[in-house]
Structure 1
Amino acid sequence: MKPSIPKGTRDFSPTEVANRTYIINTIKTAFETFGFQPIETPSFENSSTLMGKYGEEGDRLIFKILNSGDYLAKADEKLLTAKQSTKLTPFISEKALKYDLTVPFARYVVQHQNEITFPFKRYQVQPVWRADRPQKGRFREFYQCDADVVGSTSLWQEVEFIQLYDAVFTNLGLAKTTIKMNNRKILSGIAEVIGAQDKLIDFTVALDKLDKIGQQKVEAEMLSKGISEQAIQKVQPLFSFDGNNEENLDALAALLATSEEGLKGVEELRFVINSISELGLQSAKLELDVTLARGLNYYTGAIFEVSAPKGVKMGSIGGGGRYDDLTALFGVKAPLSGVGISFGLDRIYLVLEELGLFKTVDLPKPKVLFVNFGEAEGLYCMKAITQLRAHGIKSELFPDAAKMKKQMNYANKREIEFVVLVGSQEIENNAFTLKNMISGAQTKCSLSELISHLK
């Protein structure tokens, strides 16, 4: 049988690993520059930690782990006979692979709240798993790169997250990304003003499709969900928000004049947008987008989404927002408002690849290869290699005393800059012949001269 891997997973070549490491290191460096601390949580959690936190659809996409040993021993025989798998799952599976980094983070905060210094700024870069339908940019195993602050309601956190996005994408060479921003309070305020509070989710889900299906189809969808013609007429200004951020904020304030919650959302957005306008961004653009409604059942304040530069066909490459109480997921009531963002590592990879921005990433390789002419020569070389490595010089001995051509081909294919040749004459004179593979020049040198030259 031909070996294969599960759908929605991938093998990564040395080049791909180097490229992914480059992205991750760029993100981690920015996280730490902004004062975030790393944590890690297990790859799997107790099922009770994860189930019921993502809604019915999310629960369905969680990978369950069968109990060790005879996992059917505790199973209910009636459920087995009736083949009621959903009801049977709790008896045969007590653990599950983590679906995201947020719920395990919430569990971590609750479990370690007496050891944590608040506000707590954490970042996490780890794999997660979802039993989703694989497609371009969507996998069953993928990495999330998250940063969150819990324990502060200050809007300066939102300002810093916009700067953080800008810093990372600028450092990756991804200029002209667009950071879209909205506020849940604005969406709630609009629903209140048009008398459709009970249709908030239906209203925003339809509004979110404006740039994909157009105004006419959005209005038709709203009508089909029971939102009145009169209500739709009241929100006509939303369909033509094409001014600058300041003009759009003023238009929103006028539209939401009778909604206290809506006006609070406008003022929160105004603070963030004005602060960024004053501070400036390196290469990204901040844009108010009233149709942005991601994570509506989760976020309570700011909502973020990052789009790739124009011309690149890719969904969002980052997103996040503010939530009222992270620990409420576990029934723990504490004033722990938080705000967080995530970077879509796999999508960022595809965008950088499409734009040819990986050319500066080098594969890990030795600085110097020692050619192997035999057992005595190999031992002589290994003594030198030990000294070179102690000086931080990446060094390697070709393991077999193969033909010279094969060893030189290996050095060429791996683009190794220097090769050392050691025969009986070099051993006799306690010397080394160093060859520059780029220029072809050869020099005889002592060990100290070799170290000095390679450093």
Structure 2
Amino acid sequence: MSKDKPSIPKGTRDFGPATVVKRNYIFSVIKRTFEKFGFQPLETPTMENLSVLTGKYGDEGDQLIFKILNSGDFLAKISGQDLEQGYKPLTRKISEKALRYDLTVPFARYVVMNRNEITFPFKRYQIQPVWRADRPQRGRYREFYQCDADVVGTNSLLCEAEIVLMIDEVLSTLGLDDVTIKFNHRGLLAGIAEAIGAFGREADLCVAIDKLDKVGQEAVNQELRTKGISEESITNLQPILGLSGSVEELLPQLDKLLKDSAEGKRGLQDIRGMLAFLGSFSQTQAKLELDVTLARGLSYYTGCIFEVKVNNAQMGSISGGGRYDNLTGMFGLPGVSGVGFSFGVDRIFDVLEELNLFPQDSQTITQVLIANFDEASMTYALPVLQAFRQAGISSELYPDSAKLKKQMAYADQKNIPYVLLIGSEEMQSGQLNLRNMRTGEQEKLDLPAILAHLKNNL
């Protein structure tokens, strides 16, 4: 028998009850908002065929997909020549499945497979874990939950506007009031590539400048050089990377810069269309910022793109997304436009912890603990316990006769707000002793009065 200490893989975590309760609080806020905006729930398998996932995230993303070895003797049909060809050809021969990298590509696969049963436009939300073979660090895990909302089957920019509204509602409900929603458009990036003399190289441009805030401008320039972008184009790019100002200040500048680019003008038109929809709603709490350096490395975005940052916390983006017109076409269903975004729940959790924004009652499961003094009090307490539960009050009876100090400590550790004390005097009078654990106050009430008090105060 192995004497190794039990452990879990790096980049994964166990979640104890207190943590799960807090996470469920975040999930509930997100779920309520998604459903308020008309989105329906969906779940897809943990595993996807590797062919479904590869080629959808760019070369860098493909390298982060967790592959699953084929069952049985997966090397039985592998020759020495196969081994010499390198890991990429070999991977396809020993692995046919993989853990899902995100929820958007499986969603597109689902839409194609079920297109005859789906009513378009199809609005779905999905809350499930995903896996990435990334280097673990703060805020970046190998297993983490995503909360996606996507719409397919419409080109309307109302969908982009509602993404902004949902992000704003969720984060403001969670108490995050210093948030910036950055947005851009892949058409602007294509237009910028054209304007600097690198026509058709927007993919290389996007991959490089997506790292600008992490590695700095000179490192981005060097990466562009390694990709064969000319020095003239890199020089032309520098003032564009330095553009700043409000949306109203940037749009006229971009009009001039992209006046000869059809893609650039399309991007500006879409941005103005989205902003017009947003103007019909009350002002969002989050700050909206047009960031021409925002690229998002995933290769399937074709329109507006989004990224969300909490300004008063040490954390990267906590949400992002955009429009992807060509994704279902990869699965044989062309011409279906989609747009969506994802919340990074693990990062949101860390931010709420850092800023101490979890409400006190978010950690409460049991609302009343009935103390257990002896066999007589336990027998008396059982129908009381049933009455609590029938009234919808989460409650438990301490299972053993124990010292009151021990039972009170149990209630404290579980953040239970009320303890019901039933001694011999209480059993005779029917006036039971209800203790408020937060204030220390106690009062004697009969069972109907206790039920009414708890319903009014929980």
**TM-score in terms of structure 1 length:** 0.89
Deviation track 1:383-420 (CA, whole Å, cap 9, x = no partner) reads: 22112100112221111112232223223333433333
Q: What is the Cα deviation at residue 108 of structure 1? A: 0.9
Deviation track 1:107-132 (CA, whole Å, cap 9, x = no partner) reads: 11011111111011111111011222
Question: In percent, how many aligned pairs have the same letter?
Answer: 55
Partner residue of 2:250? Answer: 248
Aligned residues: 451
Q: What is the Cα deviation at residue 443 of structure 1? A: 4.6
What is the CA–CA distance in structure 2 between the aligned matches of 1:60 and 1:205, rounded to whole Å? 15
8 Å contact from structure 1 (residues 75, 88) kept in 2:
no
Residue 129 in structure 1 maps to residue 144 in structure 2: no
Residue range with higher mean Cα deviation, 357-366 or 33-42: 357-366
Partner residue of 2:272? Answer: 270
Q: What is the Cα deviation at residue 304 of structure 1? A: 1.0
Of residues 199, 202, 215, the one that matches 2:201 is 199
Residue 20 in structure 1 maps to residue 14 in structure 2: no
Partner residue of 2:181? Answer: 179
What is the CA–CA distance in structure 1 between the aligned matches of 2:13 and 2:70, rounded to whole Å? 26
Cα gap change, 1:436/1:102 in structure 2, threshold over 3 Å: closer, same or farther? closer
Partner residue of 1:190? Answer: 192
Partner residue of 1:318? Answer: 319
8 Å contact from structure 2 (residues 363, 415) kept in 1:
no
Q: 1:330-369 alignment to 2 at 5 Å?
A: 330=331, 332-369=332-369
Q: What is the Cα deviation at residue 103 of structure 1? A: 1.4
**TM-score in terms of structure 2 length:** 0.89
Look up the SS of the partner of 2:150 in the other structure: strand
Of residues 51, 56, 62, the one that matches 1:48 is 51
8 Å contact from structure 1 (residues 9, 139) kept in 2:
yes
Q: What is the Cα deviation at residue 356 of structure 1? A: 1.9
Q: What is the Cα deviation at residue 47 of structure 1? A: 3.2
Deviation track 1:262-282 (CA, whole Å, cap 9, x = no partner) reads: 211111112223443554533
8 Å contact from structure 1 (residues 178, 286) kept in 2:
yes
Residue 64 in structure 1 maps to residue 67 in structure 2: yes
Of residues 25, 28, 32, the one that matches 1:29 is 32
Look up the SS of the partner of 1:162 in the other structure: helix
Partner residue of 1:76? Answer: 77
Partner residue of 2:410? Answer: 410
Q: What is the Cα deviation at residue 438 of structure 1? A: 4.8
Q: 1:47-446 alignment to 2 at 5 Å?
A: 47-68=50-71, 71-72=72-73, 75-78=76-79, 82=83, 87=89, 89-90=91-92, 92-211=94-213, 218-219=220-221, 221-223=223-225, 225-235=227-237, 237-277=239-279, 279-295=281-297, 297-309=299-311, 311-330=312-331, 332-427=332-427, 432-438=432-438, 440=440, 442-446=442-446
Residue range with higher mean Cα deviation, 319-328 or 422-431: 422-431
8 Å contact from structure 1 (residues 79, 88) kept in 2:
no
Look up the SS of the partner of 1:108 in the other structure: helix
8 Å contact from structure 1 (residues 319, 343) kept in 2:
yes
What is the CA–CA distance in structure 2 between the aligned matches of 1:32 and 1:406, rounded to whole Å? 43
Q: What is the Cα deviation at residue 31 of structure 1? A: 1.0
8 Å contact from structure 1 (residues 163, 281) kept in 2:
no
Partner residue of 1:38? Answer: 41
Partner letter of residue 319 of structure 1? Answer: G
Look up the SS of the partner of 1:197 in the other structure: coil
Q: What is the Cα deviation at residue 218 of structure 1? A: 4.7
> Where in structure 1 do 4 or more consecutive aligned residues deviate above 6 Å?
none
Q: Which sections of structure 1, spanning at least 5 residues, go unmatched?
A: none
8 Å contact from structure 2 (residues 422, 432) kept in 1:
yes
Deviation track 1:123-146 (CA, whole Å, cap 9, x = no partner) reads: 111101122211111111100111
Cα gap change, 1:404/1:120 in structure 2, threshold over 3 Å: closer, same or farther? same
Partner letter of residue 19 of structure 2? Answer: E
Q: What is the Cα deviation at residue 248 of structure 1? A: 1.3
Look up the SS of the partner of 1:160 in the other structure: helix
What is the CA–CA distance in structure 2 between the aligned matches of 1:187 and 1:436, rounded to whole Å? 60
Cα gap change, 1:376/1:243 in structure 2, threshold over 3 Å: closer, same or farther? closer
What is the CA–CA distance in structure 2 between the aligned matches of 1:62 and 1:210, rounded to whole Å? 24
8 Å contact from structure 1 (residues 371, 421) kept in 2:
yes
What is the CA–CA distance in structure 2 between the aligned matches of 1:208 and 1:96, rounded to whole Å? 26
Look up the SS of the partner of 2:146 in the other structure: strand
Look up the SS of the partner of 1:340 in the other structure: strand
Partner letter of residue 78 of structure 1? Answer: S
What is the CA–CA distance in structure 2 between the aligned matches of 1:452 and 1:166, rounded to whole Å? 37
Deviation track 1:347-393 (CA, whole Å, cap 9, x = no partner) reads: 11222222221244531232322222333432321122112100112
Residue range with higher mean Cα deviation, 343-352 or 57-66: 57-66
What is the root-mean-square deviation in Å for CA atoms of aligned residues? 2.8
Look up the SS of the partner of 2:56 in the other structure: coil
Partner letter of residue 362 of structure 2? Answer: D
Of residues 6, 10, 21, the one that matches 1:7 is 10
Cα gap change, 1:424/1:339 in structure 2, threshold over 3 Å: closer, same or farther? same
8 Å contact from structure 1 (residues 300, 324) kept in 2:
yes
Cα gap change, 1:416/1:201 in structure 2, threshold over 3 Å: closer, same or farther? closer
What is the CA–CA distance in structure 1 between the aligned matches of 2:274 and 2:14, rounded to whole Å? 41
